[in-house]
Amino acid sequence: MGDPRAAIDAVYRAESGRITAALIRYSGSFDLAEEALQDAVAAALTHWERDGLPANPGAWLMAASKRKLIDFIRRARTRHEKSSTLAHEINLRAESQVDDLEPGLDAYPDDRLRLIFTCCHPALNVEAQVALTLRTLGGLTTAEIARAFLRPEATIAQRLVRARNKIKEAGIPYEVPPLDQTAKRLQAVLAVVYLIFNEGYAATEGESLMRSDLGAEAIRLARILRELVPSDPEVIGLLALMLLHDSRGAARINVRGELVPLEEQDRRLWDQGRMAEGLECLDLALREQRPGPYQIQAAIAATHAHAREPGATDWTEIASLYGELLRLTPTPVVALNHAVAVAMSQGLEEGLKRIEWLGVSGTLDEYRLYHAARADLLRRLGRRDEALRAYEQALVLSTNRVEEAFLRKRVASFS
């Protein structure tokens, strides 16, 4: 018999978004959906330890979650007259296939994508839309979302509560907008999908550098989005960006499980088929002549892809692209990446000067990659004491075990 706790953790990571999305569609309630799933997880631990793992753990957890949801609704009958009808409806649906679609919603072939559009209602501000969807569908913790936004955890927790309250108080319907009305929500949807991918590509917490389940889910959702809005170049650009990053996955960890920086990767391990698909998508997007942030980021990834070896990387082009990206999205993280590209193209001192100027405001104080980038430039410049302190600060802020090991190795190199 396999380890039930490990199995529950694995199936929760892989299936919680899909299950939560289905439960919200059935019940219309974020709170009921999450409570039902958590009760089902607790039940799984008891049953799987006693009876062994089921043949299909994901289907077992989905069925158990639906039963828990039905129980909640039945207990609330005295308070809600329609609960009996709804419980009967849910019970009938629970007997059908897990991934059956609601009649009339065939244009949205997936509960998770429908719920992303629902969460991204224009009545909520964009940050609340993204945070709520990441929490509900991406399975990210409040702490992980806070790090993605460079915000205190308490701030994100409050915004999640306010977003859910607004949905309840304003009576925002759990509905799918018609396809001709998706434009108002598309930018938030794309942001959600990309943040899910980023958490899969570089997990903020845990024992693994990557969470392949989240990366694959984000790419799958982007493919569906492309079918829904085939003429939007940013949708194609996002797909291109994720495919190009994902093509490097096998080279990012060596045989000892250690992180390998981009410049040290064995480029023969890059997935050429996935890279070619990403380059093709980028070419299609750029033909529309409506450049946007995702297309520019994909172009940066493509510039790396075209370099046969690290020394052949066109850093001048990358710096130029980051400059354009900074004009469109003037955020501290984009400015940091631009500064690194400037360091590699115009000189380490110039790049370091820009990075340290960014640090004056304190906005990036809790962003580990700011300290890691600064440390790397200081190391290259031979300023060992300053580099060591910067690496140590990055290590303090890191919560991923693989990343921590890499930073410890850097720190140890100074002794």
Task: Decide if 260 contacts 253 (C-beta within 8 A).
Answer: yes
Residue reference for tokens 């501290």: 332
DSSP track, 195-208: HHHHHHHS-SSBS-
Query: Which of 24-38, 154-168, 267-281 reaches the highest mean pLDDT?
Result: 267-281
Q: In this model, does residue 37 exceed pLDDT 80? A: yes
Secondary structure (3-state) at 261: coil
- Give phi and psi for 206, each to the nearest 5: 110, -175
Cα dihedral 132/137/142/148 (nearest 10): -90
Q: What integer best gives the mean pLDDT of the chain? A: 86
Spell out the residues 6+ positions from residue 275 whose beta carbon is closer than 8 angstroms to its own.
243, 244, 247, 305
pLDDT in tens, 123-175: 888 788 888 888 887 777 888 788 777 788 999 999 998 888 888 787 777 66
- Token reading at 396: 């303090």
User: Residues with Cβ < 8 Å from 231, sequence gap 6 or more?
Assistant: 288
CA distances from 326 to 289, 319, 322, 402 (A): 19, 10, 6, 30
Buried-exposed string 69-89: b where 16+ CB fall within 10 A, e elsewhere:
bbebbeeeeeeeeebeebbee
pLDDT, residue 362, reads 93
Q: 3-class DSSP state for residue 49? A: helix
Helix ranges restricted to H, 202-347: 212-228, 233-246, 272-287, 293-306, 315-328, 332-346
**Domains of the chain by residue range:** 4-99
**Residue 400, strand partner residues:** 206
Higher-pLDDT residue of 211, 289: 289
Which pLDDT score, from 0 to 100, does residue 85 have? Answer: 54
pLDDT at 178 over 70: yes
Q: How far apart are CA 140 and CA 148, in angstroms?
A: 10
Instruction: Tell me the C-alpha distance between 277 and 296, whole Å.
Output: 17
d(CA 75, CA 32): 12
For range 87-91, the mean pLDDT: 50
Tens-place pLDDT, residues 298-335: 999 999 999 999 999 999 999 999 999 999 999 999 99
What is the largest distance, in Å, between two alpha-carbon atoms of the chain?
73
Residue-wise DSSP of 135-147: HHTS---HHHHHH
pLDDT value for 104: 35
Whole-number percent of the chain with pLDDT over 90:
51
Tell me the average pLDDT across 15-30: 84
pLDDT at 305: 97
* pTM of the model as a whole: 0.80
pLDDT at position 321 is: 98
C-alpha distance across the termini of the chain, in Å = 46
